[in-house]
Amino acid sequence: MTSAGTRVALQGLIAATTGASPGEGENRTDGTILKAAAEVISVAGERNLTIDQVAERAGFTRMTVFRRFGSRDQLLRATYARELRLVLEEVTTAAESVSAAVDRAEIIVVQLISSAEANPICIRLVQVEPAAILELWSGRTDFDGQAVGAALIAYLLHDSRLADPLPQKEAELVGSLLMRLVVSLVLVPDPALRKSRAVRRAFLRKVVERILGAEQRSVVRGCDQRRSL
């Protein structure tokens, strides 16, 4: 389960993307509409999504959809923010299960790539509308997935509960680099790495160790492991 502190941080990061209040929860109507929008995008793509399609799939009138989200663009932004939040909640839960920064960074990257490859929206956009993915992750629109993901990674790697937390500035740099690595491998997958999860994980581990300078932290991790015995 994601810790309370991380949950609050995640809410704040997503709120910066959606414009909602950090503590504002998702009501049933909004959740149904956003789920329907995600389903429409995964089938028809972003370009072909219409409010009428979403309303019909959600079981509401188009006026209800407009009243809740204001416009098609705002609906798209809220849909992407919701999908990102669901993925990041899973990632943070897995990441908080380890106490070494390099292990946490590895888990984050592996989980993000695996989640993207399994997400129906991401699959559709990568195959048919890669430009839409670039807009979502480059900050060209009001939605900036790169910034949200990088900020969360930085938060998780600066976590004082780690045996070897990164300094804030280093965590921010590493967060940005790791998110760019994730987006690169999702958009331009390496066939050799897709053949085997073990091969890909070993590759990602090497990259993470290079970025974090893991060798310099081996002593700290060894002490942490001995304390856990």
Q: What is the dihedral of CA 63, 38, 84, 210, to 10 degrees?
A: -150
Tell me whether residue 128 is in a domain.
yes
CA–CA gap between residue 99 and residue 4 (Å, rounded): 17
Tell me whether residue 27 is in a domain.
no
Tell me whether residue 38 is in a domain.
no
> What pLDDT, in 10s, does the model give residues 17-69?
545 544 455 689 999 999 999 999 999 999 999 999 999 999 999 999 999 99
* Nearest CA-CA partner of 208 in 112, 108, 98, 99: 108
Q: What are the backbone dihedrals phi and psi of residue 190, each rounded to the nearest 5 degrees, phi first? A: -90, 115
Tell me whether residue 61 is in a domain.
no
Tell me whether residue 96 is in a domain.
yes
Tell me whether residue 59 is in a domain.
no
Highest mean pLDDT among 109-113, 146-150, 217-221: 109-113
Number of domains in the chain: 1
> What pLDDT, in 10s, does the model give residues 146-160?
888 899 999 999 999
The residue range of the domain holding 181 is 4-18+81-218
Residue 169 in contact with residue 157, Cβ under 8 Å? no
What pTM was estimated for this model as a whole? 0.81
The enclosing H or E element of 229 equals none
Tell me whether residue 137 is in a domain.
yes
> How long is the chain?
229
